[in-house]
Chain A
Amino acid sequence: QSVLTQPPSVSGAPGQRVIISCAGSGSNIGANFDVHWYRQVPGTAPKVVIYSDTNRPSGVPDRFSGSKSGTSASLAITGLQAEDEGNYFCQTYDSSLTGSWVFGGGTKLTVL
C-alpha cells in the first residue's frame, strides 16, 4: 500500500494529452514538500522527468509539465509519443517520519 495514490494505468493515442495524478495528504504533498516525477522503463533505473513540482531537467521535452495543488500533484504529457511509454512514479517526503521518502504505486502509460 503506497502512501501516495496514483492510477494503475493511463493510455492515449499519439498526439493526445494525458494526465497522471498523485494524491497525498497533509503530512506529505500538503505539507508543501517538493514533488518529483520519474519515468522508469523495465530493467533501468528511474529517471527524473519533473523535479520540485514544476521543473524539467535538461533533456526532458517541454511536452512534460508538473503541477501541485493542496494535497495532490499531477504530471501532464502533451503531444504523446510512443517513446513516452513506461511506468511513472511520483515521490515526495513525509513529516510523519523524519527523512522519509514516500512514493506513489506507479502508473503504466500506454501509447495506443
Chain B
Amino acid sequence: EVQLLESGGGLVSPGGSLRLSCVASGFTFSDYTMTWVRQAPGKGLEWVSSIGGSGDTTYQPDSVKGRLIISRDNSKNTLYLHLNSLRVEDSAIYYCARVPISVGPPDWGQGTLVTVSS
C-alpha cells in the first residue's frame, strides 16, 4: 500500500524558513516523479513544485521559484520542500503526492500545516 507521510509544518515568522519532509513507503520511490501541492485556508489547490525520480530535474511555477525549493533523498525514501523567505500568503496545508507513471490515480499524503504569522 502506498503511504506518504508529511511532517515539519508549524508556526513561523514572516521571513523565516522551514523544511517539510514526506516519507514514502509501499513503492519504489526513485521510480516516481513527486509533487508538492498546497491549499491555503478555505481556498483551492495550488501546485508548488515537482521533481523527477532521480532528483536531477525540478519544476515549479514562477510564483515560488527561488523561495520554495524541492529536493529528494532516494536513499531515505524522502521528499523535501525547503521554504525560505516565508510570507503570510504561504500559510497553507502542504501535501506531497506521487505522480502516476501511466494510467493511475495520484496518491496524496495527509498534509502538514504551515502558518506564517508574526
Contacts and interface: CB of A to CB of B under 8 A. Distances in A.
Contacts of A104: 44
Contact of B50 (A52, A91, A101): A101
Size bracket of the B interface: 20 to 34
A47 B109 CA distance: 10
Interface string B16-60: 000000000000000001010100000011110010000001110
B44 A106 contact: yes
Nearest to B57: A99
A47 to B, nearest CB: 8
Given A51-B105, A57-B105, A101-B50, A45 B44 contact: no
Interface residues of A, number: 24
B26 to A, nearest CB: 15
Given A51-B104, A52-B104, A2 B59 contact: no
B61 interface: yes
A45 B57 CA distance: 27
Contacts of B103: 34, 51-52, 55
B99 to A, nearest CB: 8
Interface in B90-118: 95, 100, 103-106, 108-111
Contacts of A105: 44
Nearest to B42: A42
A89 B45 CA distance: 8
Contacts of B111: 45
A2 B47 CA distance: 11
Contact of A48 (B47, B50, B61, B106): B106
Contact of B59 (A44, A48, A55, A99): A99
Nearest to B58: A99
A57 B106 CA distance: 11
A103 B106 contact: no
Given A34-B100, A97-B61, 6 more contacts: A36-B106, A52-B100, A91-B106, A99-B50, A105-B44, A106-B45
9 contacts: A45-B108, A45-B110, A52-B100, A89-B44, A89-B45, A101-B50, A102-B47, A103-B46, A103-B47
